[in-house]
Amino acid sequence: MIKIPHLRWWVITLIFLAAVLNYVDRQTLSALAPTIQRDLKLDDREYANIVNIFLVAYTLSYLISGKIADKLGTRVAMFIFVGWWSISNMLTAAARSAPSLGAYRFSLGLGEAGVWPAASKAVAEWFPARERALAIGLYTMGATIGATLSPYLVIPLAAYPYAEKLPWLAQFLGEGAGWRMAFILTGGLGLVWLVPWLWLYRQPRQSALITGQELALIEDGHPPAVGAAAEQPWTWGQVFAFKGTWLLLVGRLMTDPVWYFYQFWFPKYLHTDRGLAQEQLTITWVVYAAAGVGSLLGGWLSGWLVKRGVAPAASRLWVMLGCACLLPLSPLIASVTGMQAALVLTGVTVCAALAWLINISSLVVDVVPKHSLGTVFSVVAAGSTLGGIIMNTIVAVMVSGPSTKPAGFLDQGIKTVFGGLLELVQGAGYGRWFLIMAFLHPVAWLLLWGLKVHQTGEAAKLQKGNT
């Protein structure tokens, strides 16, 4: 049997490609939001509701997808998640109204969330501690590249003259044939990805393609568990009793809304406040390129600190401190007059936000036992999507006046909890949200460091073993 040198990097390359497809599919809606809103007659509140419906599904999926990954294993779980979201994305082409679009986006969210806990398990299975943050940075960079590519793929598809060139297809798809084809084609790419994944992925010790040298390197970074109980997956009670679960959940709830804003609202901000037309929104590639740089740089920096003797969990927090010091630049984005200056500032803050995200994700891998990593990662990531839902609602109210349409169930539920805050910020515009983003990361870092998240779970055991 032929052996593949550095097989772990081929594994992470496949996960990188899955992340690219994940974000291409996710960003298709926001890249084409002006066109889709016009064709389906959606206002900004309805757009926010549809994004929130996606995030509700994402949250629900997070709560169970990690358990699925722990139960079925990385290989089978990833196959299910990618296949599900790809088919859901293709079906979005059939949307004819806000409710149907919301239903397809809900289904997309159920599938898309699962890739992240499964990917974190793959990193834990295939990489020693000093390489984990870089590996997470690589596949997260796939998300940013997918977001970068999405407008270049889907905006030309939406603008293609189907009625003249392919009248039979335009007739079959109906109004909005361009954006409908974008969903079909991008979803189909995910089904193609399933073939190499099934062929390549196995546990390191079960793989016939791995070299003995690489297997020894991987297993050297995974000390054997002591006793059978050490391999027993945590119950839900143990997951929620673990201090690190709550600290990391709150950390992501507070900070992930920054990245969600750039995914779902920044193109609309450029369109509304900066006057860019639909076809000019391809400029958002700058934002996602900066996110890719942040993903790699954040992973490399903490890996470099680990090689210099810093404990893995502590190294993540030192890099996160540097990131937290850059996010206060956010309010300047809305206040500078030139587009170039605004994009440079956006690039710096997005780079810092993604470097932070890589390292807080690596903290989960550092402090949680491998046998329960998927479950804990899912619970922590559910905090991320809850933060995104709150952000979507607040931003929608900030940038629009009172809705002229009846409130949906999601609007009513959120208004019950945040009614006073929503009234306070209504009509304040995007500038108020840019100001809020200045404080989220610094406050979260103080919380994580002050309550010593880096001295919990596996990180604490590793630290004791080195003293």
Residue 459 maps to a domain: yes
DSSP structural state of residue 338: -
CB 148 within 8 A of CB 293: no
- ∠ CA(278), CA(256), CA(355), 5° rounding? 95
> How much is the average pLDDT of 253-280?
87
* pLDDT greater than 80 at residue 335: yes
Q: Letter for the amino acid at 167?
A: P
Residue 427 corresponds to which tokens in the numbers above? Answer: 């009509």
Residue 441 corresponds to which tokens in the numbers above? Answer: 């990361």
Where is mean pLDDT largest: 18-32, 129-143, 430-444? Answer: 430-444
Give me the pLDDT at residue 448, please: 94
Alpha carbon 378 to chain centroid, angstroms: 12
When mean pLDDT is compared across 226-235, 292-301, 344-353, the lowest value belongs to 226-235
> How much is the average pLDDT of 124-149?
83
* pLDDT greater than 50 at residue 395: yes
- ∠ CA(239), CA(126), CA(186), 5° rounding? 85
* pLDDT greater than 60 at residue 460: no
Residue (of 181, 137, 177) closest to 28 by Cα position? 181
- Can you count the helices (H) and strands (E) in the chain? 22, 0
pLDDT in tens, 369-394: 877 887 888 888 888 878 888 888 88
Give me the pLDDT at residue 467, please: 43
CB 93 within 8 A of CB 124: no
Please give the share of the chain, as a percent, with pLDDT higher than 70. Answer: 90
Residue 2 maps to a domain: no
Cβ neighbours, 10 Å, residue 338: 8
Residue 455 maps to a domain: yes
Cβ neighbours, 10 Å, residue 253: 20
pLDDT in tens, 70-126: 888 899 999 999 999 999 999 998 888 888 999 999 999 999 988 888 998 898 888
Give phi and psi for 144, each to the nearest 5: -70, -35
Please give the share of the chain, as a percent, with pLDDT higher than 90. Answer: 29
Alpha-carbon gap, residue 161 to 166, rounded angstroms: 8
Residue 440 maps to a domain: yes
Q: What is the DSSP string of 417-448?
A: HHHHHHHHHTT--HHHHHHHHHHHHHHHHHHH
Give Cβ neighbours of residue 161 (< 8 Å, ≥ 6 apart). Answer: none
* pLDDT greater than 90 at residue 318: yes
CB 393 within 8 A of CB 257: no
Cβ neighbours, 10 Å, residue 466: 8
* pLDDT greater than 60 at residue 465: no
Give me the pLDDT at residue 84, please: 95
| More confident call, 107 vs 130 | 107
pLDDT in tens, 92-101: 988 888 889 9
Alpha-carbon gap, residue 444 to 304, rounded angstroms: 24
DSSP structural state of residue 176: T
Give phi and psi for 6, each to the nearest 5: 55, 45
Give the count of domains, the chain: 1
Instruction: Give CA separation, 114 vs 108, 220, 295, in Å.
Output: 11, 28, 20
When mean pLDDT is compared across 63-77, 180-194, 451-465, the lowest value belongs to 451-465
Against a cut of 0.75, is the pTM above it? Answer: no
* pLDDT greater than 90 at residue 255: yes
**What confidence tier does 420 reach under pLDDT thresholds 50, 70, 90?**
low
* pLDDT greater than 50 at residue 228: no
Residue (of 392, 374, 101) closest to 260 by Cα position? 392
Alpha-carbon gap, residue 342 to 270, rounded angstroms: 10
Alpha-carbon gap, residue 345 to 287, rounded angstroms: 10
Residue 434 maps to a domain: yes
Residue 391 corresponds to which tokens in the numbers above? Answer: 């952000």
* pLDDT greater than 80 at residue 408: no
Q: Letter for the amino acid at 54?
A: F
Give Cβ neighbours of residue 48 (< 8 Å, ≥ 6 apart). Answer: 392, 393, 395, 396
> How much is the average pLDDT of 177-187?
85
CB 272 within 8 A of CB 457: no
**What confidence tier does 227 reach under pLDDT thresholds 50, 70, 90?**
very low
The CATH number assigned to the domain holding 140 equals: 1.20.1250.20
Helices (H), 327-372: 330-335, 339-367
> How much is the average pLDDT of 226-245?
75
Nearest-Å Rg of the Cα atoms of the chain is: 22
Give Cβ neighbours of residue 249 (< 8 Å, ≥ 6 apart). Answer: 379, 380, 382, 383
* pLDDT greater than 60 at residue 458: yes
Alpha-carbon gap, residue 190 to 188, rounded angstroms: 5
- What 3-state DSSP class applies to 22? helix
Q: Containing domain of residue 20, as a range?
A: 7-212+238-465
452 sits in the region (left: phi over 0; alpha: psi -120 to 50; else beta) called left
Residue 64 maps to a domain: yes
* pLDDT greater than 70 at residue 240: yes
Residue 259 maps to a domain: yes
Q: Letter for the amino acid at 20?
A: V
Q: What is the DSSP string of 85-133?
A: HHHHHHHGGG--SHHHHHHHHHHHHHHHTTHHHHHHHHHHHH--HHHHH
Residue 128 maps to a domain: yes
**What confidence tier does 440 reach under pLDDT thresholds 50, 70, 90?**
very high
